[in-house]
Chains A and B, each alone.
Chain A
Amino acid sequence: MYRSGLPLLTKVLSFMAVAASIAMEERSVQARMASPSRFGDKAFEWLTLAMALAVVVLIILIGWQLWIGSSVAIKKFGFHFLLTSTWDPVAEQFGALPFIYGTLVSSLIALLIAVPLSIATAAYLTELAPLWIRQPLVSLIEMLAAIPSVILGLWGIFVMIPWLRDYPFPFLKRFLGWTPFFSGPIYGPCMFAGGIIIAVMILPIITSVSREILRSVPDLQREAAYALGATRWEATRIAVLSYAKKGLFGAVILGLGRALGETMAVTMVIGNTPQIAASLFKPGYTLASVIANEFTEATTDIYLQALFEIGLVLFGITILVNLLAQLLLRTIATTSATRAVQ
């Protein structure tokens, strides 16, 4: 198979040369290198695994701590806690219903305002806007997302509420005052103001997630619509928006998750009164706000326990909503991925 017949002498000489060169190299290089430790590899993998498992530990830790912190209250109040509307720390009567109501209503108002605006903006950014305007707009929306909640609350107290009280609220009252939602005196801080400030907080996230969803719509869809002679808007509506319906729903649910847990800005404008009132001009209270306001004032153990239980309720609701959002967004990602593969 191999070349044959090398003279013996050449062979011996070449062996000696190889041996000599190997000897020199071995001393100089291979010997200088530290032997790699497989222990190091294992240790690093285990270390990073331990860190990655932090996400599991944290979820369990939150649930466990909230449960432990509220166990006495859970035993004492049972399910009534969720269904009664009296919140009287002096009489040690605790019912979470007004807070659950306030959280849901303010979040609902926020969604009603934010969803159409966000999805229209997302459609504008991916389908309708001139190319040069898209990136600057995206950057501005990212900046809006970066504004801390407390600063939006500050602006809400001193700028937004006085303006709402002087212009839009009286206007609404004049024309829609006959409905229960816009009746009664106008105070300023109220459920409606809370909903609006939450809307501002969740606009960026719904917009950017929707934008990602619309961007993942295959170009084939658009081309098919244009090939049929669709206008830009028709292509957007028929080919893009309807195609991305499920993903957009996921984006909305994700926004809902943020809305339910929004704390500082709401606390500063919602009025912080535990009541269930039809009028959106009346003050309300949310789960997150009552924790923020009353936690450090909780003088008795049972009061603190009740607030921990509020925390548990909030955690339960947001985790469910977030699970739903992630599942919706995930199935979208996988189906669009498989479509892309096929």
Chain B
Amino acid sequence: MDNLVMATPEQSVTERVERIAQPTPSIEPAPPLTFAVKNLSIWYGEKRAIDNVTLDVASNAVTAIIGPSGCGKSTFLRALNRMHELVPKTRMEGTVLLHGEDLYSRSVDPAIVRRRVGMVFQKSNPFPTMTIGENVIVGLRLNGVRNQKFLNERLEKSLRMAALWDEVKDDLHKPGTSLSGGQQQRLCIARALAVEPEVILMDEPCSALDPIATAKIEELIYELKARYTIVTVTHNMQQAGRISDYTAFFYLGRLIEFGPTTKIFTNPSERQTEDYITGRFG
């Protein structure tokens, strides 16, 4: 809990190593967890958007959230870094643990949560007043990092991780909005990576992109999962099948089914899941 409030490096590292090293008390040895969501419900005013969802997100894996529009998948994603709180009159119940720490504890600053849980949006949104380079390091700069050498290193590293460095390295001073749609989205991924989050949430990151740009992002997601835990919302079944290790199917705010992607897509246990995946509704 403490390292959410004050991130002293040594302490949090040891804690986390301990956490990871501790065997989970279950019969099967389960992979390490990033999020443990328990009995989560969320209301927007009177409307209940998420209804009693319990779900575990595995580390260094891609978890896809699928479901028809309005099923609460975006809201669920946003609850993982407290972005849903930006909508006025929201209320939530239940717990969300990030590596065992309650994200919604009173002493936790949402800004710290969001540094550890980054986000990429449906519509690419590089800041229009900034250059490509400024866009990448803006999170660090606004969070008080001043060391120019360090910023330059992070800039290159983040762009390389986002597979964008070779395309933009000579144009870092150009406005971020001068890039193509797919490049802009990768720029946004680089921007999220620059603050070194542990998790990256993606809210339909490819829905506004053409197939070639989409393929690049998917490839990138595959590479990123070696270092990051990724949760992505998608309305594209094929995409969920291609990129994810686990899939969660939401319907009307409820989690209908959750499990390894191969199982969900080949042998779903719920009728609704099967109907949705085979395109009979949604």
A residues adjacent to B (C-beta < 8 A): 1-6, 11, 15, 18-19, 21-23, 25-36, 38
The one of A1, A6, A31 that contacts B9, using a Cβ cutoff of 8 Å: A31
The one of A3, A15, A22, A34 that contacts B260, using a Cβ cutoff of 8 Å: A3
Residue pairs across A and B with Cβ atoms less than 8 A apart, 25 shown, are: A1-B258, A2-B28, A2-B31, A2-B260, A4-B30, A19-B13, A22-B17, A23-B9, A23-B13, A26-B12, A26-B13, A29-B195, A29-B196, A30-B7, A30-B115, A30-B116, A31-B7, A31-B9, A32-B140, A33-B143, A33-B145, A34-B144, A35-B5, A35-B7, A36-B112
10 A-B pairs besides A6-B31, A30-B115 with CB distance below 8 A are: A1-B28, A1-B30, A2-B58, A15-B21, A18-B20, A22-B13, A29-B196, A31-B8, A32-B150, A35-B7
Once the chains bind, are B9 and A19 in contact (CB under 8 Å)?
no
Give chain A residues whose Cβ lies under 8 Å from the Cβ of B9: 23, 26-27, 30-31
B residues adjacent to A (C-beta < 8 A): 5-9, 12-13, 16-17, 20-21, 28-31, 56, 58, 60, 109, 111-112, 115-116, 140, 143-145, 147, 150, 154, 195-196, 227, 258-260
- In the complex, A190 Cα to B218 Cα: how many Å? 79
Give chain A residues whose Cβ lies under 8 Å from the Cβ of B20: 15, 18-19
Give chain A residues whose Cβ lies under 8 Å from the Cβ of B5: 35
The one of A27, A31, A32 that contacts B147, using a Cβ cutoff of 8 Å: A32
Closest chain-B Cβ to A277's Cβ sits at a distance in Å of 60
Give chain A residues whose Cβ lies under 8 Å from the Cβ of B60: 18
The verdict on A22 contacting B16 (CB below 8 Å), with A28-B150, A35-B7 known, is yes
Closest chain-A Cβ to B121's Cβ sits at a distance in Å of 21
Nearest 8 A-B pairs (CB), nearest first? A34-B144, A33-B143, A29-B196, A26-B9, A36-B111, A19-B17, A2-B30, A31-B9
Give chain A residues whose Cβ lies under 8 Å from the Cβ of B111: 36
Give chain B residues whose Cβ lies under 8 Å from the Cβ of A31: 7-9
Once the chains bind, are A6 and B29 in contact (CB under 8 Å)?
yes
Give chain B residues whose Cβ lies under 8 Å from the Cβ of A30: 7, 9, 115-116, 195-196
Once the chains bind, are B227 and A33 in contact (CB under 8 Å)?
no
The verdict on A35 contacting B30 (CB below 8 Å), with A15-B21, A19-B16, A26-B12 known, is no
The one of B16, B29, B143, B195 that contacts A5, using a Cβ cutoff of 8 Å: B29
- In the complex, A27 Cα to B147 Cα: how many Å? 14
Once the chains bind, are B109 and A38 in contact (CB under 8 Å)?
yes
Once the chains bind, are B195 and A35 in contact (CB under 8 Å)?
no
Closest chain-B Cβ to A15's Cβ sits at a distance in Å of 5
Give chain B residues whose Cβ lies under 8 Å from the Cβ of A18: 20, 60
Give chain A residues whose Cβ lies under 8 Å from the Cβ of B109: 35-36, 38
Give chain B residues whose Cβ lies under 8 Å from the Cβ of A23: 9, 13
Closest chain-B Cβ to A18's Cβ sits at a distance in Å of 7
Give chain B residues whose Cβ lies under 8 Å from the Cβ of A35: 5-7, 109, 112
Give chain A residues whose Cβ lies under 8 Å from the Cβ of B58: 2
Residue among A5, A25, A32, A36 having the largest count of chain B Cβ atoms under 10 Å? A32
- In the complex, A22 Cα to B260 Cα: how many Å? 27
The one of A15, A28, A29 that contacts B17, using a Cβ cutoff of 8 Å: A15
Closest chain-A Cβ to B191's Cβ sits at a distance in Å of 13
Give chain B residues whose Cβ lies under 8 Å from the Cβ of A15: 17, 20-21
Once the chains bind, are B227 and A21 in contact (CB under 8 Å)?
yes
- In the complex, A36 Cα to B109 Cα: how many Å? 8
- In the complex, A6 Cα to B13 Cα: how many Å? 24
Give chain A residues whose Cβ lies under 8 Å from the Cβ of B195: 29-30, 33
- In the complex, A28 Cα to B195 Cα: how many Å? 10
Residue of A whose beta carbon sits closest to that of B196: A29
Residue among B6, B29, B147, B150 having the largest count of chain A Cβ atoms under 10 Å? B29
Give chain B residues whose Cβ lies under 8 Å from the Cβ of A4: 28-30
Once the chains bind, are A33 and B144 in contact (CB under 8 Å)?
yes
Closest chain-A Cβ to B82's Cβ sits at a distance in Å of 13
- In the complex, A4 Cα to B7 Cα: how many Å? 33
Give chain A residues whose Cβ lies under 8 Å from the Cβ of B145: 29, 32-33
Residue of A whose beta carbon sits closest to that of B141: A33
- In the complex, A250 Cα to B169 Cα: how many Å? 57
Give chain B residues whose Cβ lies under 8 Å from the Cβ of A33: 7, 115, 140, 143-145, 195
Residue of B whose beta carbon sits closest to that of A25: B196
Closest chain-A Cβ to B177's Cβ sits at a distance in Å of 26
- In the complex, A22 Cα to B198 Cα: how many Å? 9
Give chain B residues whose Cβ lies under 8 Å from the Cβ of A1: 28, 30, 56, 258-259
- In the complex, A3 Cα to B28 Cα: how many Å? 9
Residue of B whose beta carbon sits closest to that of A19: B17
Closest chain-A Cβ to B187's Cβ sits at a distance in Å of 19
Give chain B residues whose Cβ lies under 8 Å from the Cβ of A28: 150, 196
Give chain A residues whose Cβ lies under 8 Å from the Cβ of B29: 4-6, 11
Give chain A residues whose Cβ lies under 8 Å from the Cβ of B7: 26, 30-31, 33, 35
Residue of A whose beta carbon sits closest to that of B116: A30
Closest chain-A Cβ to B143's Cβ sits at a distance in Å of 4
Give chain A residues whose Cβ lies under 8 Å from the Cβ of B13: 19, 22-23, 26
- In the complex, A226 Cα to B17 Cα: how many Å? 75
- In the complex, A23 Cα to B17 Cα: how many Å? 10
Give chain B residues whose Cβ lies under 8 Å from the Cβ of A5: 29
- In the complex, A29 Cα to B193 Cα: how many Å? 11
